[in-house]
Amino acid sequence: MAELAALAENAVREHPAEALGYSPIDGLPALRDQIAARFATPELQLSRENVLITTGGMQALELLGKLFLEAGSTIAAQSPAYLGALDAWRPSHPRYHAMDLAAADCDPHRAMDGARFAYTVPNFSNPTGKLVGTAMRKTLIAAAEATGCWLVEDDPYGMLHYDGTPLPSMIGLYAKAHPGPYRGPVIYLGTVSKELAPGLRLGWVIAAPEVITAMTTAKQGGDLCTSGLCQRIVLDALSSGLTERIRPATLALYRARRDALCRAMSDHLGDLFDWEVPVGGMFVWATAKDPALDTDRLLRTGLDHGVCISPSSVFDPEGRNHNAIRLNFTLNPPEKLAEGIRRLAEATRSLLLENAA
């Protein structure tokens, strides 16, 4: 916190024109260069023409809608899907081809056929916290190439990896097979929200230059530019190594909270829900053992017991799927997580009793 405050003061004192004036629409050139350098590999050759700075990851999702969607267009989307993305695209009333990327019979080629773009969160998805395996990542890329569909890789959680080794990004996998200046079908979205602070509202798109140019035009009609002050803070946070320095403490804190939540779940919810312990991210996805348990109703009963869950229906474009819940473990300390789970168990049992009556 103190370090961010110092960066903010330094930005205003030392770079007043950049921090307080209008920025270029596509972002401060030095920040675009910094993001390009952060993600480039010998195969994935990136320059600032591949990078657009956005006002949070959310703006990138909204710009994708502005760029690619007309009324009734089709999106191939990982299911269940991030609620914020569904909200961003709702004004176009899109149709969805759902992709359950964990299912053995998932056929991305079929889902992407006729879709304007495919939307995925391969690392610790919001809401399920699950990883998409490397083989499925390759299948998605192959389907994008075969169908001509853009493939959106939304990656806010990739750095929140608690166990095991990170999997290769789809943009990186594409570049391995097509080394050189990047012009591929993967549109990669990043944000500082989960590694620095969501209040900075700072994200980025890495994509083929023609996508960046078109998204920049769309951004012009939105907010003209992302806050120069926030861009300057993030530039200095990245170039001074602040993000790397704070990462071990962030990971240790979140890992301990995940363990506390999952321990409490084993103690209180084992006979009520099924779940997997996530290896990263912020969420546990739990499916009710009783198919008659309606988690929209559990939301209300939970609130009566002083605990809040996200019901699965909000992560479905048509509001279907009433049998699972998303639990966040990063926001609260272990004691509060344990108490929340105890109350959730109480709420679930009372709802099941009501069902049985």
Ligand X SMILES: Cc1ncc(COP(=O)(O)O)c(C=O)c1O
* Local structure of 285: helix, strand or coil: strand
Total site size for ligand X, rule CB under 6 A: 13
Cβ closest to ligand X, residue 15 vs residue 89:
89
Q: Which amino acid is at 106?
A: C
Q: Name the residue whose CB lies closest to ligand X.
A: 56
Tell which residue, 235, 216, 161, 232, has the closest CA to residue 194.
161
Q: Which of 80, 156, 158, 185 binds ligand X (CB under 6 A)?
A: 156
Give the separation between CA 35 and CA 203, rounded to whole angstroms. 10
In the complex, the smallest distance separating the C-beta of residue 352 from ligand X, rounded to whole angstroms, is: 30
150-154 and 186-191: which strand pairing? parallel
In the complex, the smallest distance separating the C-beta of residue 129 from ligand X, rounded to whole angstroms, is: 11
In the complex, the smallest distance separating the C-beta of residue 337 from ligand X, rounded to whole angstroms, is: 19
Of 109-138, binders to ligand X (CB under 6 A) are 121, 126
In the complex, the smallest distance separating the C-beta of residue 179 from ligand X, rounded to whole angstroms, is: 28
In the complex, the smallest distance separating the C-beta of residue 354 from ligand X, rounded to whole angstroms, is: 33
User: In angstroms, what CA-CA distances link 157 with 9, 128, 195, 200, 219?
Assistant: 28, 12, 9, 17, 24
Strand blocks (E) in the chain: 44-45, 51-54, 74-78, 95-99, 117-120, 150-154, 180-181, 186-191, 203-206, 273-275, 283-288, 310-311, 324-328
Largest CA distance in the chain: 69
324-328 and 283-288: which strand pairing? antiparallel
Tell which residue, 59, 147, 141, has the closest CA to residue 101.
141
In the complex, the smallest distance separating the C-beta of residue 200 from ligand X, rounded to whole angstroms, is: 9
The number of residues in the chain equals: 357
Cβ closest to ligand X, residue 169 vs residue 193:
193
Cβ closest to ligand X, residue 81 vs residue 347:
81
Binding segment for ligand X (CB under 6 A), chosen from 15-23, 50-58, 252-260, 272-280, is: 50-58
Cβ closest to ligand X, residue 57 vs residue 185:
57
Asked if residue 82 binds ligand X (CB under 6 A), the reply is yes
Going residue by residue from 186 to 225, which x/- string records binding to ligand X, judged by CB under 6 A?
Answer: -----x-x----x----x----------------------
Q: Which residues bind ligand X (CB under 6 A)?
A: 56-58, 82, 84, 121, 126, 154, 156, 191, 193, 198, 203
